[in-house]
Amino acid sequence: MAEQGVRISADMLENHSSAKEATLKGVQDVENNPSFHSVGYGGLPNKEGHVVMDAGYMDGDTLHFGAVAAMEGFYSAAEVAQSLAEGDANNFRAGTGAEKYAEEKGFAKRDNLTEEAKKIYEEKRMEELKPYDGHDTVCFVGLDEKGTICTTTSTSGLFMKEPGRVGDTPMPGVGFYADSEVGGAAATGMGEEIAKGALSYAVVDRMKRGMSAQEAAESAVKELDASLKKRNGYAQPMSVIALDKDGSWGAGTNIEFTFCVANEEMETTVYEMVEQDGEWVTKKKEN
């Protein structure tokens, strides 16, 4: 779902935009597309029929972050999250506090529940759903010509989630992390599971200790997956993307996973991670 957004972001970076601007526009392309039912406009609602949004942003130069959770009724949760990174306090706003802040700052309002999403809600509300049923997060990690790494994330969260539930997407270090001296990472999957290993920070920390982006992403997911299976007998779906300060990229997962990459050496390319002989391998996705 992020392929078109990645193209937009890549074009912006090629034309000297900042990583902050480029990652926001890429995320907003998904937030504004009603065909995607897990982010923004057209997102699937919670148990009470409300589209409730979470989003996060981190500036790798300053380590400042902004985040919103359980916010309803605005055009772009990611845009509101980015604005909150400007101060030294009150950077994470939730529920009515986030909505009041967004309204006071003049962010555009919108009812994100579409007729199609409402229909899906009515049809599925009595079924037992799995974590990826109608759910995903849009995650962007960008590196600009100045060497700044930023991460921006957005989601409407689990379909049929309980009111007030917040996943990993707006949590710094969990759903996203950025350090321009090292790299950035962002996660998707079952938020409660991802939080148990502070997955995005774990990936960046591994890069800081010398691992490549691919090694860091792969090992962080593998270690958390193994730990959860040992403790609980199972591990729920989780995936992470990573980008280091030199532009090398990687991904890790415990479920089939699709992601997009663009850089100055190649146009936007869609990859998928699939399991082969007990290992997860990355391949170009065939059209």
- Alpha-carbon span 176 to 203, nearest angstrom: 10
Phi, psi of 188 (to 5 degrees): -145, 155
State the DSSP H helix or E strand holding residue 1, giving kind and residue range, or none if neither.
Answer: none
Gap between the Cα atoms of 52 and 270, Å rounded = 29
- The DSSP element (H or E) to which 67 belongs, if any, is strand 65-71
284 and 271 in contact (C-beta within 8 Å)? yes
For the annotated catalytic residues, the residue numbers are 137
Q: Two tokens at 275? A: 């399991």
DSSP codes joined into one string, 39-58: SSTTPPP-TTS---EEEEEE
Closest C-alpha to 141, from 273, 250, 279, 254: 250
249-253 and 238-244 beta bridge pairing: antiparallel
Place of tokens 């593998």: 222
DSSP string across 149-164 = EEEEEEE--STTPPTT
d(CA 253, CA 273): 7
Task: Decide: 43 and 112 in contact? Cβ < 8 Å.
Answer: yes
Of residues 112, 165, 169, the one with CA closest to residue 139:
169
238 bridge partner residues: 189
Task: Please provide residue 141's backbone torsions phi and psi, each rounded to the nearest 5 degrees.
Answer: -120, 125
